[in-house]
Structure 1
């Protein structure tokens, strides 16, 4: 326990000294400017915010770190008194309090040090030997969990399986090392052996407990060497002391009970931990099953339609509307639910006489992909065309509204539907040339991320997911259904399939967009999207220019993000205002002459 305390103290000492020597980061505009960093506490309770605000002033923060340095130095000295427990608890408590203060400078090593300090500090102070052993077992089990989970998660990713991950990390500016990167390129076989060796070490770390602990020393020695390498090559110096601070407790708990050094050790924490694990697995499975049922059953008003590809589409008729008015069909984006349209769909139902329909593409919600052929983007276009022809009365026209990739599907469907289209609204739409334009290259393949998430969720890890902020902005009665889809593997698998098809399709695009004659077009962009890539604004303009012989309009919603156009009530209302105004005023617009208009919406424009 003393070795663990000293290694954890060395980690905290290094951390506090780094902060004290870089106090300028706490100044106005610095990396640790509390006026900016405190935004990370928005969702915390008032009590937590008050406590952390109380220690986050520059002077108070400095005093606490000076105190931490003094305690760390004391913890490094010889001794075995109960006061060491007080010191460890002080370091653990101040780490927890100052963690949000240094939100943009902390790392996993600080969390590990805090875990060890709280456990060993409490073990020093509690009188019960059984409680002491339970606390030491807690740290040891956490160590096994951290290595094992990290290894198996890496195994889900292709870069670790094909051994390209090591070279990929070493070539980065933040964590890379030029010499090590060159070595991986010059010695690919050795680099592959090293990468797979790291994977084996992490995945099989619990082997330290086999054969009465005879494998403990080589396992923890390999792990310690791994962290020393992280410190040298990746600049993660605190890792060299933080994670090894758990190793002495792994050694203590893996030794056979016949060993004199652990005589009388209480191991009841192990069956208790496995019982909790079994309960957690049962809860995870039960939650996954319940969410899958909630996802696939839809709403009580859900309907289904079978397309030419044998896909079964689940759709909702929010409102049938006036039989003489068009029907609005809302197409969602990639990895997005039809519930994301809740704000817009509700207003269209209450403030217009349009019919309103939302639907889930094949693989989303209760829609099922039954097609036996490889997936291409044209399949989703055909499904949308079949939905319009099957769910909308033949005499009624259709207004297609598409967000992100849904906008591109709507554009292509309009080329097929012809006279049935009353108009199209593109909401921060994709453009088939976006991967070929400068500044619009894909930073990293999302397909791998979608695959990893799908696999992880199939293992029942959805119970660990937090509700995304975007889903939390939807109307209350839609949030549970949307989150159930987000936490279900089916949607991630559908997104992976669609993303690959989008990449393959868009990368082959060359030439002009197909002309849509006589169909009005409304193009709405999110300001954050066009700020990040001005080229996107030009492509959105091209979507409007593809509509000939009919009124078009472009608009930018100031302050809105790509997803915020739909889920944020304020921005969704602005979008709905534009849609109602544009299509409600088509008769007057059709008489207008001159160039198309470009409108930038200010924050107060639609109050």
Structure 2
């Protein structure tokens, strides 16, 4: 396939995609009105419109009449590109289509998908190639699309291969039974012929994973590979309703055909292949940059804070911790224990409030494997190891004449519950922040179902970050809700595979431990306070029952009971300043109650001494 023929076929297939898209929007133009799926008063609050300059630009083209006019113009230009011709004006038409797709992206948050993105990619490349006067530039642009096509198939296949359902053959029947992309007749066929369905699914996996081999054998594999890929998209169009995918993804195939042909073929004589070498150099540079950035972040993670210290536990583990607040021997020390795949900095809003605005000292630490804490134990990990480490931390860090208030979030809540009997009379109270419960995987269907998803998420994150992909990891919104000086440190930890490896180890132990839990929670003599996030208890009533059981397990005076922070969810309870400060206020009230109960107990035990003190 020659250069001009490849561009011609590609731009026509991409034009069919855009024509179909715009005709759909014109047919459903009522959705542009108030209350519709594409009502601009709602769409303008989408993530694509957060930038003020972008919002101002999209406001200019997002009026109902303007939007309809743009789609009408796009349809007309698309029809024009379907006509014969090879002029440079076709380049302007392609760029118009890709440009208006970008302008309308925020306008049509519902309805845009991968097909529009692929069409935009092809139209941008063919538009620039048409306007270019040099064959070298045109070849570079065609190579760009061809490499993107190879990546789109190859990466998609290898990512699917990671999932259990694609390997076991469960994915195809699962997709076919959905309302959005499913087909009842196709689903029945998968149930009637499960072995054939599994072969089909594995065939699709093989096609996608091995697609890059299209560049092997000097072009002899081009026709069978592209024919298989094209058949795949045609089938999806009829079975899954992905009509635009059929024309969008096949619009990249002519570029693949052009670039896979050997240079000795007359149709591609003089083709410039330097883009491949340039891509290789960029890839090598990207890998080197990723490695350097990962090393820099790892150093920042291990280094901790200027005030960080370490203790060594009975298992040989080194725990990194930080302290703050006032050294008042009459008040308990607050010891914070973080949740699964969480950092000690998650408590920043709360720890800073107590460190600077109360009489209490605070201790926040990282479990082995997190931050600068290192795990040296060679025994298989169990939750008891973390409980032992927490006990050793308290005994070594907190002076013997000081009592402690143990504060735990999520998994940290279960760890402080288990360690409290070991510390006996040193524990003045326990504060649970949306805590885990040892029976939750058995009694909460939501938690039980979510356990597998969490396990897979942690496994994927561990695998990908170990490969050095932290450089492309986007920064979660909740990170920027933490106090400013903590954000970079927390993000560095989340892009480091060490955190996810530790979480993977812990979650495996949690599942084994929680699924074998029997009986009731042992009574706890110290007072306790459970602070729950409203969204947690609203979405899972079983969790509310478990929290109440945890409250009832505490027997000591000064009980805090169960408190709910309105609107908060499991994570924002700590990371959002509004909710964290509410939680801190509830904790302060609880500490006051604990102190008053302790004073009353002392008065009852030593009435004469108390009377003398009052005199």
TM-score bracket, shorter-length normalisation: over 0.9
- Counterpart in the other structure of 1:110: 116
- Counterpart in the other structure of 1:492: 500
1:584 to 588, 592, 595: 592
1:324-339 equivalent positions in 2, closer than 5 A: 324-339=330-345
Quickly say closer, same or farther: Cα 1:379–1:19, change in 2 above 3 A. farther
Aligned counterparts of 2:142 and 2:281: Cα–Cα separation in 1: 18
Q: How far has the Cα of 1:42 moved from its partner?
A: 7.2
Quickly say closer, same or farther: Cα 1:479–1:129, change in 2 above 3 A. same
Gaps of 5+ in 2: 1-6, 601-615
2:198 to 192, 196, 214: 192
1:525 to 514, 519, 532: 532
Task: State which drifts further: 264-273 or 527-536.
Answer: 527-536
1:252 to 253, 258, 263: 258
Task: State which drifts further: 361-370 or 211-220.
Answer: 361-370
Structure number having the greater helix percentage: 2
Quickly say closer, same or farther: Cα 1:42–1:72, change in 2 above 3 A. closer
Q: How far has the Cα of 1:478 moved from its partner?
A: 0.9
Q: How far has the Cα of 1:2 moved from its partner?
A: 1.1
Q: How far has the Cα of 1:93 moved from its partner?
A: 0.6
Aligned counterparts of 1:182 and 1:374: Cα–Cα separation in 2: 45
- Counterpart in the other structure of 1:137: 143
- The normalised TM-score by structure 2 is 0.91
Task: State which drifts further: 12-21 or 189-198.
Answer: 189-198
Q: How far has the Cα of 1:152 moved from its partner?
A: 2.2
Q: Does the CA contact (< 8 Å) of 1:333 and 1:406 recur in 2?
A: yes
Partner-residue secondary structure (3-state), 1:547: coil
- Counterpart in the other structure of 1:158: 164
Q: How far has the Cα of 1:43 moved from its partner?
A: 7.6
Quickly say closer, same or farther: Cα 1:32–1:413, change in 2 above 3 A. farther
Q: How far has the Cα of 1:249 moved from its partner?
A: 0.5
1:511 to 512, 519, 522: 519
Cα-to-partner distance string for 1:464-483 (whole Å, 9 max, x where unaligned): 01110111111121111101
Task: State which drifts further: 544-553 or 463-472.
Answer: 544-553
1:393-432 equivalent positions in 2, closer than 5 A: 393-432=399-438
Cα-to-partner distance string for 1:28-67 (whole Å, 9 max, x where unaligned): 3433233333333378432112112222233322221222
Aligned counterparts of 2:183 and 2:214: Cα–Cα separation in 1: 31
- Counterpart in the other structure of 1:99: 105
Q: Does the CA contact (< 8 Å) of 1:312 and 1:369 recur in 2?
A: yes
Quickly say closer, same or farther: Cα 1:28–1:539, change in 2 above 3 A. farther
Pair 1:261-2:264 in alignment = no
Gaps of 5+ in 1: 593-607
- The normalised TM-score by structure 1 is 0.92
- Counterpart in the other structure of 1:449: 457
Quickly say closer, same or farther: Cα 1:477–1:211, change in 2 above 3 A. same
Q: How far has the Cα of 1:92 moved from its partner?
A: 0.4
Partner-residue secondary structure (3-state), 1:426: strand
Q: Does the CA contact (< 8 Å) of 1:88 and 1:120 recur in 2?
A: yes
Pair 1:567-2:571 in alignment = no
Q: Does the CA contact (< 8 Å) of 1:321 and 1:356 recur in 2?
A: no
- Counterpart in the other structure of 2:318: 312
- Counterpart in the other structure of 1:242: 248
- Counterpart in the other structure of 1:548: 555
Q: Does the CA contact (< 8 Å) of 1:158 and 1:448 recur in 2?
A: no
Quickly say closer, same or farther: Cα 1:158–1:74, change in 2 above 3 A. same
Q: Does the CA contact (< 8 Å) of 1:363 and 1:491 recur in 2?
A: yes
Quickly say closer, same or farther: Cα 1:326–1:589, change in 2 above 3 A. closer
Q: Does the CA contact (< 8 Å) of 1:157 and 1:452 recur in 2?
A: no
- Counterpart in the other structure of 2:285: 279
Task: State which drifts further: 421-430 or 527-536.
Answer: 527-536
1:296 to 293, 302, 305: 302
Cα-to-partner distance string for 1:47-98 (whole Å, 9 max, x where unaligned): 1121122222333222212221222222222222222212111110111111
Quickly say closer, same or farther: Cα 1:24–1:439, change in 2 above 3 A. farther
- Counterpart in the other structure of 2:349: 343
Q: How far has the Cα of 1:370 moved from its partner?
A: 2.6
Task: State which drifts further: 481-490 or 491-500.
Answer: 491-500
Q: How far has the Cα of 1:457 moved from its partner?
A: 0.9
Task: State which drifts further: 440-449 or 276-285.
Answer: 440-449
CA RMSD of superposed structures (Å)? 2.1
2:90 to 77, 84, 95: 84
1:208 to 202, 214, 217: 214
Quickly say closer, same or farther: Cα 1:377–1:134, change in 2 above 3 A. same
Partner-residue secondary structure (3-state), 1:357: strand
1:465-484 equivalent positions in 2, closer than 5 A: 465-484=473-492
Aligned counterparts of 2:563 and 2:65: Cα–Cα separation in 1: 48
Q: How far has the Cα of 1:244 moved from its partner?
A: 0.7
1:351-362 equivalent positions in 2, closer than 5 A: 351-362=357-368
Aligned counterparts of 1:364 and 1:166: Cα–Cα separation in 2: 38
Task: State which drifts further: 180-189 or 194-203.
Answer: 180-189
Partner-residue secondary structure (3-state), 1:375: coil
Task: State which drifts further: 271-280 or 231-240.
Answer: 231-240
Q: How far has the Cα of 1:499 moved from its partner?
A: 2.0
Aligned counterparts of 1:415 and 1:233: Cα–Cα separation in 2: 60
Cα-to-partner distance string for 1:296-346 (whole Å, 9 max, x where unaligned): 222222222222333222211234632332111111111111111111111
Work out the number of aligned pairs and report it. Answer: 591
Q: Does the CA contact (< 8 Å) of 1:305 and 1:312 recur in 2?
A: yes
Q: Does the CA contact (< 8 Å) of 1:310 and 1:369 recur in 2?
A: yes
